[in-house]
Chain A
Amino acid sequence: MLEQLIIEGIAIGACYGLFGVAVAIIYKTSEVVNFAQGEMGMIATFVAYHILVQYQLPFWLAFILTMAFAALLGCLIEFLFLRPAKDPTVLGLIIITLGAEMLLMGLASWKWGAEQKAFAFPLSVQRTMEPLPGFIINEWSLGVFTLTTLIMILLFLFFRYSRLGIAMRATQQNRNAARIMGIKVERVFSFTWALSSLIGTVAAMFFAARSVLDPNFMMEPFLRAFAAAVLGGLTSIPGVVLGGLMLGLIENFFGYAWPQWKPIVAFVIIIGILTIRPSGLFAKHYIKKV
């Protein structure tokens, strides 16, 4: 029972972490907290559903098309809503992304209605396997582990060695200096949103496979993932994944002990931790210089 709780907790935590990474990438590069991230994933998952049901395409093809859509959506939101804002405040940016969230949710409910749908995902939570004796793991968790590890390694390599990744880090450190060095900062932002939308969509598909598909389904996971990202510290990508894992574990154990308080335990813990460490557990806390 205990190891089952741990495996399940780590699996859902990895999913939170993956989604949190999507939030963190945008925050790291442009200091925008993207409240629309959940709905971006939601609408992309709906597109995948639409392709699967309406056109009867195989899953891999639908996946590729959805990824293209997700990348485009990320670019589009950045281009339409964030780029025109001149000298926005933190609050202004939050309002813009909240607006984008409401917009996407409204559009999805308009297009697909509010009723719940089943999302045909190839990895199921029901089918389990036992690689070691006494160590039961379901397909879904295995998929999450593999994919999270893969994406983390790719992200590490990307930020470390690729020109674009280095440009993104430079933009994060100092936007003006990066611009002077010949980096097209706007293009970097577009790319950041596309990348983050891609990662978010992958995570959203996993969430959809676990629950049902309706326009509200990403609300809860997004808030958890965001909380996990804040817990780990929004500026450190490994920290965000660790925060997600911790959150998944804590939540699973809590949910086992006191099921009815499960939905809020994450937030209570996060408020507590933020009171002690204002920038999350794994991020460097910068003191503002006057």
Chain B
Amino acid sequence: MLCNAITSGYSFMDMKRDYYEDIELFSGLTVLFWSMTFLVLLFTLPLLVPDYYFYLFNIILVHVILAVGLNILVGYTGQISLGHAGFFAIGAYGTALLIMHANFPFFLALTAAGLIAAFFGLIIGLPALRLKGPYLAIATLGFGLAIMHVIGHWEVFGGRMGIQVPPLDIGLPRAGLSLVLDTDVKIYYLILPIAVILVIGARNLMKTKLGRAFIAIRDDDVAAEVMGVNLTVYKGLSFAVSAFYAGIAGGLFGCVLGFFDPFTFNFLLSISFLVMVVVGGLGSVLGAVLGATLITYLQYELLKNVAEMPFLGGLLVAFSRKFFTVAGLENLSSIALSLIMITIVIFEPLGMFGIWIRMKKYWKTWPF
């Protein structure tokens, strides 16, 4: 069903005539030009935008990495995960603890944490072999809760009090090459290249044997197995790749926040990750990027202080005073998010990517 919808969305736009057309990274000069423009814009953003926005930008980039990774699992392989906050937590705690206790340089710690998360993903991928739909949902959900609980109860992880991340130093502090990133803009220049590499990596991955195997599993796992796709290996790998992305994102997230505790990585976080992927559009890297950006912006910026919103704020406060409670007004953001996700699933199952495709189609064939 999903696959039909996606292929029908694609079939009009992406008529592939040969193999090389299928594997190329940019499907034309226009796409190449706009991608490059966008990249240049991203790298020169600190010249254009005030510094205080960069905390938000960093979180958006982290969520973009995570959503792209989750999309590999959910959108391309067709598996459900309600426990991605667990992998995210492994990445955050892994990076911070490896730097603090094992004196790893930052990049080594980040990669190691990503690999640890990938290993856990592989382990969770094993039961996923036989589990479908709701059963897989509860298994991954249990995993996420278990991780949160283990972290909260083990003193090594700082327990319920959380941990304070040391100043972010991407050099080799022990060899005397210290390079401390102390402002949000500097951290932005650390996260941006990583995010760009990982997003392009995900896009490329889907054009390889591995990516095609994932898509085959999503469309029909029995048929995929008959065609020679080893389900054990590829489902496990899909979980591992997705968890690796989540781990890297988690490690960076920890650096952006500076301080975190186990409750940062709760069940609602897992849901909001899923929402990003679904709102953006399943089975599309661009969609994941769009979804992560929109949802993060709504959560962290627009709907954070509802009462202080222009025009609407005062009205809402008066309304809440009469019928609801003013203290509970902050819940409006979760109400808005939930309505967005329900509406998207009902009216636009392909998410923002689907809207984009339809717009493109409309202008290409205009005036017909």
Instruction: Please list the residues of chain A having a beta carbon within 8 angstroms of any beta carbon in chain B.
Output: 27, 33, 81, 84-85, 87-92, 94-96, 98-103, 105-107, 109-114, 219, 223, 226-227, 230, 234, 260-261, 263-264, 266-268, 270-271, 274-275, 278-280, 288, 290
A105 and B137 contact, CB distance less than 8 A: no
The distance in angstroms between the C-alpha atoms of A234 and B133, with both chains bound, is 12
Known interface pairs A85-B346, A106-B331; A27-B134 also in contact (CB < 8 Å): yes
B334 adjacent to A102 (CB under 8 Å): yes
Task: Return chain A residues, CB-CB under 8 Å to B328.
Answer: 109-114
Q: List which B309-363 residues lie within 8 A (CB) of chain A.
A: 320, 323-325, 327-329, 331-332, 334-335, 337-339, 341-342, 345-347, 349
Asked whether A95 lies within 8 Å of B345 as measured between CB atoms, the reply is: yes
Q: A110 is contacted by which of B137, B278, B335, B337 (Cβ under 8 Å)?
A: B335
Evaluate contact between A110 and B2: CB separation under 8 angstroms.
no
Q: Does B67 contact A (CB under 8 A)?
A: no
* Interface range on chain B (Cβ under 8 Å from partner): 35 or more
Cα A223 to Cα B145 in complex, Å, equals 10
Q: How far is the CB of A22 from chain B (nearest CB, A)?
A: 14
Query: Is B143 part of the binding interface, using a Cβ–Cβ cutoff of 8 Å?
Result: yes
With A81-B346, A88-B349, A102-B338 already in contact, the answer to whether A110 and B143 are too (CB < 8 A) is: no
B81 to chain A, nearest CB (A): 10
Q: Are B346 and A33 in contact (CB under 8 A)?
A: no
A-B contact pairs, 27 of them (CB 8 A): A84-B346, A91-B2, A92-B278, A94-B134, A95-B342, A99-B275, A101-B338, A102-B268, A105-B331, A105-B334, A109-B331, A110-B325, A113-B327, A113-B328, A230-B134, A260-B153, A261-B149, A263-B145, A264-B145, A264-B149, A267-B141, A267-B146, A270-B142, A274-B130, A275-B127, A278-B135, A290-B222
Interface residue B271 (Cβ < 8 Å from any Cβ of A)? yes
Interface residue? B190 (CB, 8 A): no
Contact B346 A87, beta carbon cutoff 8 Å:
no
Contacting pair A106 B80 (CB below 8 A): no
Known: A27-B134, A111-B328. 15 other contacts (CB 8 A): A91-B80, A94-B80, A96-B345, A98-B341, A264-B142, A264-B145, A264-B146, A267-B141, A267-B143, A268-B142, A271-B143, A274-B139, A275-B127, A278-B131, A278-B132
